[in-house]
Amino acid sequence: MTTESKVTREIMERFNGAFETHRPEDLDDLIGEGCVLENTTPAPNGARYEGREACLNFWKGVASSANLVFKAEEISAMGDRGII
């Protein structure tokens, strides 16, 4: 695994950890200005969030929900890209 892939994987593990531990504040330094999030809800076309503030607000809302359980099944890092 390249150094870049290792760094990417570490970032993804920190991202997942914020949801697993319900600590939305851990997301603050993980979401970049160029973030784009395409959600499948609300139906029928979903929603699109653009920019750091919009994406961070969305993810913090999810991470703070005590009723949700998160478990990463697989993490793949390829250079500066990753799949969770």
Residue 71 phi, psi (nearest 5): -145, 115
Note the pLDDT tens digit of each residue in 25-73: 999 999 999 999 999 999 899 999 999 999 999 999 999 998 989 887 8
Q: CA angle, corner 18, sides to 13 and 23, nearest 5?
A: 160
CATH class for the region spanning 3-83: alpha beta
DSSP label at residue 67? T
48-78 in b/e form (b: 16+ CB < 10 A) is: ebeeeebbbebbbeebeeeeeeeeeeeeebe
Residue 49 phi, psi (nearest 5): -115, 130
Amino acid letter, 50: E
Q: For the full predicted model, state whether its pTM sits above 0.95.
A: no
User: Is the pLDDT confidence value at 84 over 90?
Assistant: no
